[in-house]
Structure 1
Amino acid sequence: MKTITIGAFEAKNRLSELLAMVEKGQRIIITRRGRKVAMLCAADNKGVQ
């Protein structure tokens, strides 16, 4: 699956949709003013409490 890049403002407005995409295996890079600042990816539930 191809990684999607999205701006911070748009990510804020579409968070629920983005989380649903991540649950299906999509990786999402979040940018601010053209610079990469974060990545959304599925958490491994084995070590999460």
Structure 2
Amino acid sequence: MALQLMVHMLAERERSLGDGTQVTHSGRPAYATVLVDAISGLWTAPVTPGR
């Protein structure tokens, strides 16, 4: 999941830059912060017990 998140966030940023539209995260530090927060959220999310 973390790999998919990184790939899609990078692709979204590149598409925005290519289209000349507003980039959601202005710089690399902001982008890195959001990415780390998202991955941390995935790692710490509650797990549903098996059925």
- Answer whether TM exceeds 0.5 for this pair: no
Report which structure shows greater RCO (CA 8 Å, sep ≥6). 2
TM-score scaled by length of structure 2: 0.28
Higher percent of residues as strand: 1
Larger Rg: 2
